[in-house]
Amino acid sequence: MSLQLFGHPFSSYTMKALIALYENETPFEFRVLGPDQPDNTAELARRWPIARFPLLVDGETTVFETSAIIEHLAAFHPGPVTLIPADMKEAVPIRMLDRVFDSHVMVPVQTIVFDARRPKDVRDPYGVSQAKTVLETIYAWLDHALAGRRWAAGDVFSMADAAAAPALFYADWVHPIGEDLATLKAYRASLLARPSFARCVDDARPYRPFFPLGAPDRD
């Protein structure tokens, strides 16, 4: 049975998993979720009652949580692009940065986006303000941490960059990266130019009108 990935092209975490698949040209079936694909939605919920995505099916094995999906692909479907080194000394910083982008970039982004989807009378301006403060703090930290590096953890594209690409893509939409953070802005541009992520961005373009805050006319 071929690999199956359940997700949506406009989902940041789905993009993260897709980058890993595209980097190694790993064959898979993309089972897109949405109102027009009720069978895919039902199968997702059957396999994972929380019904969050992406979710990877590999034969009899079901893998959820995006970083775990990439770990599974690295272990059981390796390719020429090694997203997680076997050497633990090299792998730990990559895993750490993977968590930084998911937890300290994507989570506050989601806080802001989800708030915009709420009815006006139950919105949380304080929570949004706090999320923007977190983004400003992590932007400054990343601008310093990435200095002198081609990719997140050094000279080689890794799982950390797969996490960074969609996280920074959307983060700059909801709370733009300051012009003074030249290193971080250049890194984001490099991610957008990476063929695996450029493919994700292009495939997601039809869904931009649904972005709650209004997708900017760029990228």
Q: Which residue has the tokens 């992520």?
A: 197
Q: What's the rounded Cα separation, in Å, for the pair 218 and 212?
A: 16
Q: What percent of the chain has pLDDT over 90?
A: 99
- Cis bond upstream, residue 9 (ω within 30): no
Do 37 and 138 lie in one domain? The reply is no
Do 46 and 115 lie in one domain? The reply is no
Do 61 and 93 lie in one domain? The reply is no
SS3 86: coil
Residue where a domain terminates, one of 76, 96, 128? 76
Domain span holding position 48: 3-76
Span 24-37, average pLDDT = 97
Do 58 and 164 lie in one domain? The reply is no
Q: What's the rounded Cα separation, in Å, for the pair 45 and 58?
A: 16
Contact 188, 168 (CB under 8 A): yes
pLDDT digits (tens, 9 = 90+) for 143-178: 999 999 999 999 999 999 999 999 999 999 999 999
Do 60 and 102 lie in one domain? The reply is no
Would you say residue 177 lies in a domain? yes
pLDDT at 1 over 70: no
Q: What's the rounded Cα separation, in Å, for the pair 165 and 80?
A: 20
Would you say residue 219 lies in a domain? no
Contact 132, 194 (CB under 8 A): no
Residue where a domain terminates, one of 76, 110, 137? 76
